[in-house]
Structure formats: structure tokens, C-alpha cells
Chains A and B, each alone.
Chain A
């Protein structure tokens, strides 16, 4: 079934629309939402002037030559948090001076200047336009982007022109362009003109999206107009998340976009993709989801279920729920359950680990929690919603907080640092889990899903928690280099051309609860060989064994070394640290799922575990 076809099932969800009073609309959350309160900045904001606190001593260390070079970045970071314009000026001079700091030290200094500008609104002494020397395309991308970011924060008028050049240049990398457009938004009318012209007629949809995003910070209505047009013109399967993100993250953004959507005609496919993209980041804002729902032909109104309806559902879970089908629903990519929830250590850590969710949670609780994730939120998973002075809205779980900044972990799993001084409003939110997930399921799928969850962790079943070290999280190489496709790459080719693990070429795949990774998940029905990667963390060096349920049709590289004769078990001496196992699966030679378990060979004292997470 094509993913989009699932939407045809949506109308059968009319049972969600029945009027009732049961569903936990969480009166507590409602109450606190109304009670927005201004942050008391005066509470305890300690910004010690230089000459007291740790600053003096740190600067002496920094300049004194006693400090080993590898320690410089850490000290620079510490000074950045407290130094004054003179001390920051020393950083700036080192950065723009030919014989000054480079590499890690320069990166730390740039980060420090950004931190000072964002959190303390402090600029270094000196000629700020000299930052443009770091815009040079020869600079590492990270340095360049960070320098552009700084230029936007400093707003030195001389910098507008070089930024416009970068924004318009065809060869500018997407990330750099985004950074440049965001920076330009701070440069008044000149900046705006550049941004708006790119929003209207940039060369690619990516350029337009980046420009629209920057424009949203200046003129929400204008940006919404361009965004609506862009969405209407979007090709099938084009990812709308960048466009939507620009509005979801701004106060009033969803409403503006919803209003602009009234003037265009969206294809149902585009509307569904947009809805899905909202849910993936835990959002279900009323006006926007209504506008998109209308275009997609989905009824968006939610009525909580009555206790009787919940009982009926619970009964259905007990009588008709199918745990195996439920696991398939859980693993569906479009529902992104595993992006946030781990099972057996593999998956996201944004929501609670679900390995043992079944035995301790009654069915009515599971049903209610999926339908309305805000109904009961485990401590540490409740969100905060922050509105900044720039009108940005950030929702996330508090990852860390101090006097200077708040870090929220968002539904995308990224940490957003918000300067305390920029927080205009702050309130308690509900869960990061999106409310509308059920709209992407049939009733039976929902029932099966609950059944699966109820079974997770039940002792004595295949879904019981386990402690065997089985590789649970894989990464699939989406587009292997040509040299990998046709035949087995030799070791040199393999080492040279294997994309780095951090690259987006690798897509996470998770084994089933029983530890098997179905072949169809790997091949997606195609015959070409596929490459998978597993990581192993070795805590104590020594021999570690890998046991394959079935070695047929597999080729294995351990840290780049090809295993020439692969049997079901192999043992390798590993040093401490993270190890990489690459498996090539040839679907023409194999039908069995993939399952790999670690073991400790006789006499070995190695301690190793498969790497989990996302």
C-alpha cells in the first residue's frame, strides 16, 4: 500500500467525532495556558562585570601562556560567558588577525562571540566589519556560517552588501544561504528587498523556502502569501517541513499561513504531506491543521471519547487487537513512533522508552494517552512553551537551564538554546507527542497498535524485555556509491567511498522487538544489494563475538576489514571505543531477516554493547 493511500481510511474515524465529555482535555493544562506570566528577568540574572568573578583569572590564563593549547577552547568558552567588550575584542582581533587563532580555537572564539551577542547582547570592541574576512568561501563552512550569523547579530551597516552577494550567489551552499538570509533580515530595507526577491523568484524551491523563512521574521503576512503559493506549486513528495517550520516556530505563524492558504488551491497530497510534517514535530495548531485538513479532505475536529466509547475500544483491543499487525503499525515510518520512543534501547529518547509499557499500564490509559498525549505526562516529559522577543515560539522539554539561557529539547530531538533575556512569555505545555496521529490510522490499525503496546514488556512473550545484546539499531545506506552497487567493493574502495556515518546518506532502521530486521525493510522490494551499518560500543577491550542467525547472502566489514569467509559466528579483537560493522545484504541470495547478537567468546574479558538510540 502506498503511504498516501492510507488517507482514504480516514473517514472511518468518525467515531472520534462523537460528542462526549470523557476525553481528558486536561483542565490543568488549560488553566495554566491561560495564565501566561511574564518572566521575572530581575530575579537572579547575574552578569558580573569584568574585574570580579572568574573573568580576570580566566583572561590571565588565556593570555599567560601557561595554558596548554588544547585547553584554549574551554577557557575561551568560559570567558565568552562573562567577558566584557574589551575581552571579546581580544577574541575578535585574534579571529581576524592573520596570525591569530585558527581551527578549534577559532571555532570556540566564534561560538563565544555568538553566545555573548545572543545571551548578553554584547559586541566586541573593534571594527566589526572585519568579520567579512571570514565570509571567504575558502573558510571552513562552519566558520563561514557562524561568521555570517554574527554579522546578522552585530548589524554593522558595511556588512549588508557582502551578505547580499552571498545570498544571491548561485553556488552558495544551502546552509550558508539560510544563515545569510536570516542575517540579512536584520539589515532593514536593503536586506528585506533581497530576501523578498528570493522568496518570490529564487532559483529553487529550497532557496525560496529559506527566503520565506527569513521573511517570516520581518513580515509574517507577506511570507505566508509566498509560502502558500510555494505549497500550492509544490511537486508531489516535496518535503514541506522547511516552509512549515518557518510558521510553526513563530507567534501567530500558523494563523497567518492558514489565512494565506485560503487564497490558493492545495493538492490533497501536498496538504497531507504538510499535515504529516506538522505532526512529526508535535504540532496540531487548530487553524492551520483545519486549513490543511480541508485541503486534504480530512475532518480535523476532535471530540473526546465518552467513557463508554473508551470501554468499547478497550474491549475491541482485547478481542480483535493483533499484536503482530500492531508492531507493523508502530514501525510505520509515517507515524514516526520510533523517532521519539525507544524499544530495547533503539529509537529516540524524546519520549519515554516503551520496552516495558505493557504490564504496568492499563488499556484505557494507553488508549487515552495515544488519543490525547497531554492527558497524562510522565515527569520529565512535560513541555514548556516559550515565546521570544522576536516572536519565535519554541516548544520542548527543558534540557537545561541557568541564569543566562534555557535549553529546550524539541520534538525534532534538537536542543534549542534561548537567551533568558529574549523570553517574553513562558508557559507549561502538554506532551511533545502530536495529537492527530490516529488520523493516519484506520480504527483496526489503532486497535492493533494498542494491543501491541499492551504486549510490550510482558514476561514470557516474544515482546518481553530482554537483556541479550542484539543489534537493534541499524543504518541503511540510501544511495550507495556506484562502485558499491554492481559488485563487491575492494577494501580500498570501501574505505575511500563509504559515506561518513554522520552523513544523511544513512537512514536509521530498527529491528523488531524480537531482534529481527525484516528483509523487506532493508530492500523495499528491490533486488539490488543494500548496505547496512551497526555500531558497537566496546567498553573494555578484548575479543567480542558476533552471531548471525543466518549468514546467507551477507558480506561483512569490521572496521573496514572485509571478512572473507563469513560463518554464523565471528570473533574479533576490539580496542575500546565505538566499532563499525557494515553488512551488505544481497536479496538475491537471502530471504531471512537479519539478526545479529553479540557474545563474549570463552576467555575474553571484553565488555561490549550494541549502540542504541536514534
Chain B
């Protein structure tokens, strides 16, 4: 039975009442001493754990209660679907494991995207959900294989708790309009959110559950604020959480004195420290080895002790929170002695490990004829260069590297201190001579990509944006911009960051992972591997490729925007256009043929040769790092065949006999040389050795520079200091990577200025220039970067003489479809194009629609010659569209 309508009077501070509209009819909730509060719900709940405002207010108002608060919030959790990796429910954090006295449940935003038509279903589901909660049933789901989900975590044989938890249901907050971002109108989102909030209120009353409306107060809060209170219209920022917590505090503690600022901040610091340790436990990385499919034989050795310690450390921090709340003094540092001891892990390495110096390792390289290599940077000169994972050159020609000295993962009590370094060759001798630490204190940044004065880094389960706002090359602003990427295996976590030509950020994750990310367009879900596509200006995250990869770790685009995806674990390589059409979760694309004749595995990173320093015959070759057995850079000759590509092995660019050499990423530098990032580690597998095997190295890391000696290096161009018109002229540069960096730089310039300059630049282009269509395409991409939809320019590229340009523009039609007059007419023209690649892009783009007309246009493509890719993609598009058309028909 639920506790109902307890008397309000006794304790001054109560949650209830005023915020909810019909206060009298709403059950009230009283907090009691030693209550354990569990916070459940979507990103609104989850993000609170990073700011701690709501919880700090609770402790401040109930200092004697010694409340225990555990935040189980999880991005995009809904009342019906909560994806988790295998056996997550064995990790000790099910609702029944936590056994709360009080539940704060934050739901409704993700559900509201179903709109009016989903409302009745929501109501009936919510009823069952509240009933489940009262019995501590909160099942999660693991998607098996790709299609079938199975529920886990519910323990049917477990009796209902003797004292049912007191439940407080929170409505979603409202959406906020933000300047500078291209977001859905808040009013449109709010119309639905209000509907769902109202339904929650009604159902809560019927179920006798306390309800707190956040919709109206948050709307009032947004209206009254001069500064943005959300990061993307739907997720509160620090100030937003602070205001919301204050509003709640005022409502529950009417007439109470304000909490003194200093006390509040020290309390919040204690709360955040406690929550951080709990988060390391609840959202542990490498879960697949802790509780999942590979806990045996190694995880069972070390992890039980580690998590026991971590849980004791969290309890110790609860006590510290209580002391701070009660105004008692606490020591500066936390003493974790007595919280538990680690197990001594013995190595199972049975061969001698011989770590070579960078120079010695270099001597093991066999390079292609007339190539030379040198050490650009290493741990010898830059001791912070430890376990580098991905590299990227910035507009100033400096190399950014993310490092992972905390590899393989956080050890309880040792704060991780992974970094983003900027390595610079100030005297142009091909060797780095200056290091700047851009950011530190990170945990396993598995991927990095740059923005002007900043970088996106992977911080599983989140995507973080680091920014230097004052120009001192130090990240002074950190923002978690996306949540919910799974962390079941850090080797499978979001990685291989790359910009697409149109200003969209791509990254990928491997199998085991179950990700769910909230966006202003609704939740995005992916289970068991795929590639993501993020449009920062729209705060839009889509699944770009949903495919049963093992563990993709490599993605590159060619000069014409065609992309290629490398699956690391099995060594497969795929042509991106064919399988990047839309599919509806949990479906995945069917098995696609590989475009490349596989030689070795596992690979890590791919890049296309585009450098005037490299030999002519190598231009356009596909380079692929390989890290076990064959350790070096493989090379493949690309050939356009039908609508796609085929690649055949030619002599490798680089081969090393140093078994610790692990080339994990590479990129062509401003001088046209290839810069190879070496993870340098004797052990790389998670399955073959204990995660804590003492032979896993975290002290080494190298970057090598490889160039061709029979041709001059490329003269680096000035990007950072160039004017916008100068930058546009740089888009005529031969090297793909130069244009890539120029586009990124342009992305950072004011849209008005860029659009105006692009229009002038396009007007001045010579239509007889052999590269005319490519220049036009670059202009289109720049506009895509800025969300500056230009149908006239788009049509110009769609009708350009060069089919590769038409194909690339057809992809843009797909991404601009919501903002074009008649996108289907353009795609109908494209499915009848004489060139198969244009038809392939069109058939792919049609998968983003949802109607019979798109389906008919797709079928029309069959009149023209087919090939493997066209047949494959057509089947995929038809499957998606048929599913949607049938679903619509069913719901009508």
C-alpha cells in the first residue's frame, strides 16, 4: 500500500502541494529519518548527478535525516524501455537491490514525442509502471542479436517489499527556445509535453502517488531568465538545475530561510564527490567484464574487491555529506583507508616483454620504397604522451592527441587524469618541440575531434565539448552535450571521431553496447554496434549506420564525400553509402559485402591518401592500420566499380616487427606527411588477459611521421589567420585534409559572414574549370555546416556535369529534406540518373522518408541497371519504408 496524505504540519519541509496544481487531491510525501531516496528516470534525472543541486537542497533542509540518495537516472529511459548491456541487472543496482524508501521518478519527455496518438497507450502503460515501481520492479532490456529484446532484471520470484516505497512522480520540464541553435520550436514540443504532464498528474492521482509538476514552473523559469537554462532546449544546464532546485525548495519549504551560499557550495561539493564515486560504480566502464558476458575468467578475480571498495567509499561520502549538512567540520581530504583492499592480479603473459625506445622501435619499420619515417613525438620528450588514442591537426597545424593513462579504467581512489595534449612543431623540422596540456582529469577519452578553440571528446557514457574561451589553449569550459552511450566495454566505446564534409560529427561504437540518447527530436537508440551522426547546430543525433559490426574503429570520407567504415575486430571494411540509410530501432542493416580484400585483423583507423608529397600512383589509396600480427599500415588500391568501390591490397606502407607497436590512428598533416599515432602497448586484448594485468602499459605513446623522399613536402597553408574569402579559396586545395580543416575553421566563423562570402565565391567561379563541380560542392558543404539551406545552390550541384558531385548533393537532399520544397521530386530525378552512384545515393536518401510515394520512387530505380550495392540498398530502403507505411496504416 502506498502512503497517502500524511499530515503536512509536523515537519516544516515537505515535498508536495504547491507546485502541483490540484494540491488538495494530490497525495503528499513526507521524508523520514534515514530514508533512502532513489532517483529514476531520463536525462533530466541523470544530469542532476553532475550538478547536485536538487540533492543538495534536500540534505540542506533535512540535515538530521541522514538521507541516502542514489541516482539511477539513465539517458532516454522511459516507462517502457530501458536498454542495458548483458546482465547489467547482476551489477547490484536494480531497484530491488537498492531497496529505496522513496522513489523520485522523472519521466515523460521521451514518451511525449509520440504525440497525441501515443497518449492513450502512455496512460495505460503508466498505470502498470507505477504498479511495478511499488513492487520495486524496474526491468531493463538487452537486445539480443539485433531484433529480439528480452527483459531482464525483473525478479518474479521475489516477494513484494513489506514496506512499499513512497513514490513521487515528476512531470517533464518544458522545452526552451534557444538563439543560435537550429532546434525544433519549443512551442511545438511543449504542446505534447503538456499533454503528457497532464496525463501523469491524472494517473498519479488515480494511483495515489505523489506528483510534482515541473512543466509550468520550468516554463516560467525560462521566461524569466536572461540566460539560457538549457544546453539544447530540453536539457538543463548548471544554472537551470540551480533554478529548478530553488523553485522546488521554495515550494516545499515555504517561508524557510535561504541556505547560506557558502554552506550550500560546500554541501554541493560533498554531494558531487559522493555522486561521482557512485557513478563510477553504477556507470562502470567495461561492464561486460564485470558482470556481463565475459566476467569469467578474469573479471571475477579483481572486480568484486574493487567494487566492494568503491561502494564502501561511497558510503563514507554519504557520512561526509551528512556532516557537512549538519554543519560539522570535515577534513579537507577524504580518508579511504579501511574501505577495502584490491586483489593482487598476476599476469598470464608467458613471453618476455621488451619495450623498445621510440628510436629502436622506429628501426623495426620496413617502409614502402623511398619513404622515410621519424619520431614526431614520444613519451621520452613528452612524458604526458601516454596511451594516445586518436590524433587531429588543428587550423594552426598543431597536433591534438587524447591520452589514456587511466587505461584500462578507473581504479577506485585514484582519480583519472587522462589528457588532451597539443603537440607543436614550432621550427618546422618535422619533430614536435612544444606541448600544451589543453585538458586533464579526463577518463578514457576514446575519441577526439576539433572545433575552433576546442574539441569534442568521448567521456563514456557521454560526449563532452571542451572549449577554450579566453585563448590560452586551456579548456576552461566543459559541457556534457550528449548522454547515454553505453560503456559495457571501453574497447567498444564511442570512437573514431571524424567530421563529415557537411559539418556533422561521426563516431562509432561496438557490439555489446546498448545506447540510448535523448535529443530534441526524440530518443535515439542503438544496440550492438553502429555509427552515429551528430549535427551540433541542430543538437540532432541519428544512427548513421546500424549494422551488426563487431567493433568498428575507423571511418573516412573521400574527396567527393563518399565514406568508408572499418570494423576493427574482424578486419572488415564497408562502403558507407550502401548501408547508411535509415532503419528503425532495433532493426539493423542486412549483411553487406566488403569492398576490400581483407588481409589481416584487427585494424584501427583508415585514411585515404591525398597528399602531393606521396607518389602519384598512391593517390586515392585506402590506408588501414593493423595492430596484431601484421603491425603497420596496409595499403589498398581503390577502384570505382559500378555504384561502389573495390579495393585490392598493394604493398604495405609500413610494417614493424616490434610487437608492441600499435598504430591506432593516423592523419595527413599540413606538410603532406602521414602522422601515425602509436598506442604502444604489449597487451591489447580485453578477453585474453585480466583488465588489471600488470603488463598493460600506460607509460608509453608515440607519434611517427612518414613521408615520401622523392617528392617535396607540401607547403603548409595558413588557415587559422586567414580571412573568410581566403579560406574559401583554400577549398580549391588538392589535399583532402586541408579542405577538411578549412571547413572546420569556416564552421567557427559567423554564419552571415560565411554565407555572404560563399555566395560571392560561387558567383566568381569559372564554370569551365575542370574542378568546377567540386568547388560548387565545397560551397554546398560549407552551407550545410552552417545550416544555411540553399536550394538554388543545391540544384546547381544536383545538375552539375560531374556525377560524383551530383551523388554528394543527393546525400544533402536527404539531410535537408525537411526544409526543401519538394525533396522527392529531386530524388526521383536522381533515381533516374545515368550514373549508378547518384542512383545509389538517391535510393539511400529515400529511406529517410515515411510514405508510399517515396517507396514508389525507390522501386522506380529498378528500371535502370542494377549492381550489388544498388540491389542491397534498395532492399534496405524498401524494408524501412514498408515498415513505416504499414505502421502508419495500422495506427490510422
Contacts and interface: CB of A to CB of B under 8 A. Distances in A.
Interface of A: 24, 26-28, 37, 39-40, 43-44, 46, 48, 52-54, 57-58, 61, 66-68, 71, 74-75, 78, 82, 314, 318, 345, 352-353, 355-357, 359-365, 368, 375-376, 378-380, 384, 398-403, 407, 426, 428, 457-460, 464-465, 467, 537, 539-540, 605, 607-609
B376 interface: no
Contact of A398 (B145, B551, B866): B145
B628 A75 contact: no
6 contacts: A27-B296, A43-B147, A53-B878, A61-B859, A61-B862, A539-B637
B470 interface: no
B163 interface: no
Given A57-B855, A71-B862, A356-B628, A46 B511 contact: no
Contacts of B685: 360-361
B361 interface: no
A384 to B, nearest CB: 7
Contacts of A43: 147-149
B882 interface: yes
A44 B659 contact: no
Interface of B: 87, 144-150, 293-297, 348-351, 510-512, 548, 550-551, 569-571, 587-588, 590-591, 597, 599-601, 617, 628-631, 634, 637, 639, 646, 648-652, 655-659, 684-685, 687-689, 852, 855-856, 858-860, 862-863, 865-866, 871, 875, 878-879, 881-883, 885-887, 889
A409 B881 CA distance: 28
Nearest to B572: A380
Given A26-B296, A58-B859, A539-B639, A380 B570 contact: yes
A444 B600 CA distance: 30
Nearest to A344: B599
A54 B878 contact: yes
Nearest to A605: B617
A605 B637 CA distance: 11
A359 B629 contact: yes
B852 A52 contact: yes
B348 A362 contact: yes
A379 B348 contact: no
Contacts of A384: 145
A399 B639 contact: no
A24 B634 CA distance: 36
B627 to A, nearest CB: 9
Given A52-B885, A539-B646, A40 B145 contact: no
A53 to B, nearest CB: 4
A368 B348 CA distance: 13
Nearest to A82: B882
A52 B637 contact: no
B882 A48 contact: yes
Given A67-B863, A376-B687, A400 B882 contact: no
Given A400-B591, A609-B648, A467 B630 contact: yes
Contacts of A356: 600-601, 628-630
B863 A61 contact: yes
B622 to A, nearest CB: 13
Given A398-B145, A457-B628, A74 B652 contact: no
A28 B288 CA distance: 12
A303 B587 CA distance: 41
A379 B688 contact: no
A27 to B, nearest CB: 6
Contact of B350 (A66, A363, A399): A363
Given A44-B587, A362-B349, 10 more contacts: A24-B296, A57-B859, A355-B629, A360-B629, A376-B297, A401-B588, A426-B148, A467-B599, A539-B597, A608-B648
B659 A359 contact: yes
Contacts, number: 186
Contact of A365 (B684, B688, B865): B688
B551 A402 contact: no
Interface centre among B639, B655, B657, B862 (most CB of A within 10 A): B862
B628 A362 contact: no
A-B pairs with lowest CB-CB distance, top 4: A356-B629, A459-B657, A539-B648, A57-B859
Contact of A74 (B348, B512, B862): B862
A370 B686 CA distance: 19
B855 A53 contact: yes
A61 B866 CA distance: 15
Contacts of A27: 296
Contacts of B148: 39-40, 43, 426
Nearest to B364: A459
B350 A402 contact: no
Contacts of A458: 659
Contact of A379 (B551, B639, B865): B551
A318 B351 CA distance: 10
B349 to A, nearest CB: 6
Given A43-B147, A401-B146, A540 B637 contact: yes
B350 A54 contact: no
A52 B886 contact: yes
B875 A78 contact: yes
B145 A54 contact: no
A379 B296 contact: no
Interface centre among A67, A363, A378, A403 (most CB of B within 10 A): A378
Contact of A399 (B591, B617, B655, B688): B591
Given A46-B886, A375-B297, A467-B630, A402 B650 contact: no
B886 A465 contact: no
A560 to B, nearest CB: 24
A426 B879 CA distance: 24
A515 to B, nearest CB: 15
Given A465-B629, A540-B648, A52 B889 contact: yes
Contacts of B629: 355-357, 359-360, 457, 465
Contact of A467 (B551, B652, B659, B889): B652
B886 A74 contact: no
B633 to A, nearest CB: 11
Contacts of A66: 863
A470 to B, nearest CB: 13
A37 to B, nearest CB: 6
Interface centre among B650, B651, B859, B886 (most CB of A within 10 A): B859
A44 B585 CA distance: 11
A233 B87 CA distance: 50
A46 B150 contact: no
A364 B655 contact: no
Contacts of B296: 24, 26-28, 375
Nearest to A61: B862
A28 B142 CA distance: 15
B650 A607 contact: yes
Nearest to A376: B687
A82 B687 CA distance: 43
A465 B297 contact: no
Nearest to B293: A28
A362 B687 CA distance: 11
Contacts of B688: 360-362, 365, 376
A37 B689 CA distance: 33
A429 to B, nearest CB: 12
A87 to B, nearest CB: 14
A44 B879 CA distance: 12
A71 B874 CA distance: 14
B657 A379 contact: no
A26 B300 CA distance: 12
Contact of A78 (B351, B511, B878, B883): B878
A342 B112 CA distance: 52
Given A67-B862, A379-B569, A398-B145, A609 B597 contact: yes
A505 B882 CA distance: 46
A28 B687 CA distance: 15
Contacts of B657: 459-460, 464
Given A54-B859, A607-B637, A48 B885 contact: yes
A494 to B, nearest CB: 29
Contacts of A400: 590-591
